[in-house]
Amino acid sequence: MAVAISVLLVASLLGSSRACHFPAIYSLGDSNSDTGSVSATFSRVRPPYGETFFGKPAGRCSDGRLIIDFIANQLKLPFLSSYLDAIESNFSHGANFAASGSTIEPADGTLIGAGFNPLSLDIQLLQFQQLKERTNELYDQAKNPDVTDRLPRPEEFSKALYMLDCGQNDLYYGLVTTTEQQVKASIPNIISQFATAIEKLYQQGARMFWIQNTGPIGCLPIIVINSPPKPGNADQTGCIKSYNELAQEFNKQLKDRVSQLRTKLHAARLTYVDIYSAKYSLISEAHKHGFVNPFINCCGHFGDYRVECGKSAVVNGTEIFGASCSDPSKHISWDGVHYTEAANNWVANRILDGSLLDPPIPITKLVSKV
């Protein structure tokens, strides 16, 4: 009976012409969603980042827009300001707490020493709480629109969409510091911390969740080129099979936990987003979709020598700059780790129609249970 009711609910929502207007988006995660946190806090993203859409660096690890930018556009909302960017930021339609290099696991000295970000998911949660509390205080203290016009409306926090996109760095950190077996053993604890973050947001009034799983880490050019798959460990696309299996295990456990949270958080609506399938489909059928070899990044160089995108290095006595390719729109990978605007646009189109969502409801048809 419960299954039948669920099917009827999904069918009803899919057939409905009613669109849900989200007044704001609040985003937490890593570089796949960072619109300026790390650029504003540690060091500015350099050219040629941002060249395709913005014409200059815009805090994003891409040549242009990220998936979150395309989602905001679909919901007719402006691009999200980074919470940590103090220059001309506007939080009236939400805020972005995502930070490049961040992890779900709290960042300790070892993680930071390995080059990962101290702005881990628990810190991002504290930042959201700070924004919400200060917003409420300012609305209580001052009715002057000059004070509040760049802030969210307090009553809209519970009506906003909360996006979480993290986990890739936790897996990558484990792979470069431990063994694959140890990474697999660590996944339940990482998922538990992920679930705790969702529950804390729920306790803060969040009700609509958009939870993205992690992509095929074994297909990232920086990994495939620097650590080519050993014999028997390459899949049909050329990705590192065992690395992708770890991502799939992470995603399986995340999906199971999201299902459990639906039972526990009765007033919430949790959408599980299969980013992995969208990205792997694009990579495995790159030529079919008009892209070049998915393991050739557009900006920078890996292989016989390495020059990072936007940086210079001396190779055989000659200084070489990590420049952009002539046509980023033909590449899936921008810098060996992150995706190009063209790839992000392709993936966004694949997930926004609802076919890779659980439940399979397009984002514009999501309706709050509140």
Active site residues: 31, 335, 338
Token couple for 137: 């205080």
- Are the C-beta atoms of 98 and 125 separated by less than 8 Å? no
- Are the C-beta atoms of 297 and 336 separated by less than 8 Å? yes
User: Which residue, 246, 251, 244, is CA-closest to 283?
Assistant: 244
> Residue 314 forms beta bridges with which residues?
319
Q: Are strands 312-315 and 318-321 parallel, antiparallel or unpaired?
A: antiparallel
What is the DSSP track for 297-337? -SSSB-SSS-B-TT-EEEETTEEEE-PPPS-GGG-SBSSSS
Length of the chain: 370
- Are the C-beta atoms of 285 and 346 separated by less than 8 Å? no
3-class state of residue 42 by DSSP: coil
Gap between the Cα atoms of 236 and 220, Å rounded: 15
- Are the C-beta atoms of 348 and 341 separated by less than 8 Å? no
- Placement of tokens 């995340």 in the chain: 254
- Placement of tokens 């760095």 in the chain: 169
Element (H, E) at 168: helix 168-177
3-class state of residue 5 by DSSP: helix
For 144-167, the three-class secondary structure string (H helix, E strand, C coil) is: CHHHHCCCCCHHHHHHCEEEEECC
Gap between the Cα atoms of 348 and 214, Å rounded: 14
Token couple for 176: 């470069």
3-class state of residue 204 by DSSP: coil
